[in-house]
Structure 1
């Protein structure tokens, strides 16, 4: 029987070339179809095709993700050693939530003398078999529809152009500060591409909405924003759907979760150094996980108060202990009574099992509070 060709992946031209090289290094013949011969470098929707009998081996290569490693995809520019312009990263999905992030992000960039990067990540499907699986609920185009991917890319470009026009108009009207900005379009899994960009470019801060387009439920444990706040190496400012609009200069009262750990002191100093032009009123919040530790925490708290009074005499501090069993209710009451503008917490690097089975305070707050959350790194 003839070994027919099947489509393994639909990628941009550059990534298709990388995948083709990796497959051939493993002894798998591959072919690239649907290439724009006039401008191949900017082609999108390029198909990598292989023999059907090679599919199991090829899928193992795809799943290993070795061809997406930073060593393969990293492109070092000639001026990589020169000083980079500081950046504020705003991931956008064209929803109202990401537009709200732009409102805050441009203000922050102006105050921090940085540029804005608008990053949109779109998903391109990996091999879709000819069997009639139910793919409608996953927003994955049919493998038989050759025009679907092209249409999707064209629609993304239209939305990106519309967003740029909207921002330009706001800058001209004085609604946004006149900050330089660029648009970056990437394909892949949104949270992974955002985190990859953060690792490579090291932005000063990432500004995101807490819910994206097509995400309707509040208990989205696997949402893009939740993954970014857990794993980002930069500050992350997450803005809830119903949060009141505030600019950076209007943020005065901060509630900061602390475990009385030395790492908290480092994170706090990073916060004050980064936003040195702001004068904050800080409320330290400690979550009591065990009743027997309460007395010990009160004793330690006395030393903490003395330390911060000496180190940061320009700041005002208050302190609060909250029982873990009543965390959300007590926090809501405290935020409302004290007019808290932002909830801060530091996410230490944790393994995947800790993230899945013991969600951090930041993740719990993300889908509960209408107060913006700042993750300190």
Structure 2
């Protein structure tokens, strides 16, 4: 009998350490959603990093909805089960940054567009008189060799050597980046900003989120590869994980974007659904963007006619005039039809250089993280996205 096509196609819903992946696998299976673990070290599973939790593509909407409805945080549950805390691993520099009331968190991976992300983050920090924390997370690798299980102890020297090599490489790259930053601040190509660095071993998204949750930044600014044909990458990407689970605003900048300073942004598109929480998050966004003054253009998340009546539009226009008398705020209704095409048209017609999305509706976020929707909207055509989070929903 031929195999069901839907069942044969698997997608990744999360990338975790082995222990966390096991927890999520058990939770999904308890809901009748078959889940498998991939990239598990066959010699010693507990040393596996970057373990993928994979499910049938047809189960993706149900799985995402269930994950969004969880009343507890997977990281917190894991930490409780393991009875551990990484506070003791704080370096003096990182602890110093944690004492600051406001800072910009910039995850870096030393890729070709790291310089652009650093420049954007430093300009943002300088205007707001904030400090910067540059964070790099490397994932120590377990040698993939087919040794008998009983001979695992023979691998320990190789494990330690591989970990030391990864740590040494990361430290060297961070040192080189710091030298470049210091030189650019000295010659005036970067603004003078107080910054610190930290290097961690683990899963990038987990380590970034854990630190940001304990030391809430003013904003997280990070890069992404942008639009890709690999839907599996999008579902499990670091950027998607950070957007979904962070409590602070997240600015995601695609690799090929020309902008390296938000001051260059003249046209901002803001997704809204006429919810009262939109007004609160819009105000937070306006405060975050100060002293910049681009043109803001609201556009509808809902395609329902009832939510975009003349009364609602007039009311929100009057509200904006009263609250932000000096701001240039317009609105547009997306064209009917396929969302991607409508968004493409909106971005092109109004020269939108930044899209702002609110995430108080976690089911909406789950919908956006459908592989194709994530590729088409959140990592849309090289357009940066600023994600505003409601603390009340976290």
Counterpart position of 1:303:
315
Q: Greater CA radius of gyration, 1 or 2?
A: 1
Counterpart position of 2:210:
196
Deviation of 1:281 after TM superposition, in Å, equals 1.3
Counterpart position of 1:65:
78
| Correspondences of 1:1-377 after superposition (within 5 Å) | 65-66=78-79, 72-74=85-87, 84-125=100-141, 130-131=146-147, 145-146=158-159, 147-211=161-225, 219=231, 220-289=234-303, 293-299=304-310, 300-323=312-335, 325-348=337-360, 350=362, 354=366, 358=370, 364-377=376-389
* Structure with a larger share of its residues in helix: 2
Q: Aligned in 2, Cα 1:69/1:368: closer, same or farther, shift over 3 Å?
A: farther
Counterpart position of 1:7:
none
Q: Aligned in 2, Cα 1:76/1:262: closer, same or farther, shift over 3 Å?
A: farther
Deviations 1:253-275 (A, max 9, x none): 21000011111100001111222
User: Is 1:202–1:233's contact at 8 Å kept on the other side of the alignment?
Assistant: yes
Partner Cα separation in structure 2 for residue 245 and residue 57 of structure 1: 42
Deviation of 1:84 after TM superposition, in Å, equals 2.4
Deviation of 1:364 after TM superposition, in Å, equals 4.4
Q: Secondary structure at the match of 1:65?
A: helix
Partner Cα separation in structure 1 for residue 119 and residue 196 of structure 2: 15
Deviations 1:245-304 (A, max 9, x none): 242323232100001111110000111122231223110000344xxx314422322222
Deviation of 1:129 after TM superposition, in Å, equals 8.0
User: Is 2:143–2:158's contact at 8 Å kept on the other side of the alignment?
Assistant: no
Counterpart position of 2:66:
none
User: Is 1:226–1:363's contact at 8 Å kept on the other side of the alignment?
Assistant: no
Root-mean-square deviation (CA, aligned residues, Å) is 3.7
Q: Aligned in 2, Cα 1:83/1:170: closer, same or farther, shift over 3 Å?
A: closer
Q: Aligned in 2, Cα 1:70/1:127: closer, same or farther, shift over 3 Å?
A: farther
User: Is 1:88–1:205's contact at 8 Å kept on the other side of the alignment?
Assistant: yes
Partner Cα separation in structure 2 for residue 56 and residue 255 of structure 1: 45
**Which consecutive residues of structure 2, in runs of 5 or more, have no partner in the other structure?**
1-42, 49-74, 150-154, 390-394
User: Is 2:225–2:255's contact at 8 Å kept on the other side of the alignment?
Assistant: yes
**How many pairs are equivalent?**
307
User: Is 1:129–1:143's contact at 8 Å kept on the other side of the alignment?
Assistant: no
Task: With the length of structure 1 as denominator, give the TM-score of the two structures.
Answer: 0.70
Task: With the length of structure 2 as denominator, give the TM-score of the two structures.
Answer: 0.67
Q: Aligned in 2, Cα 1:356/1:248: closer, same or farther, shift over 3 Å?
A: closer
Deviations 1:107-166 (A, max 9, x none): 111001011110001113579785589xxxxxxxx7673422222221111111111111
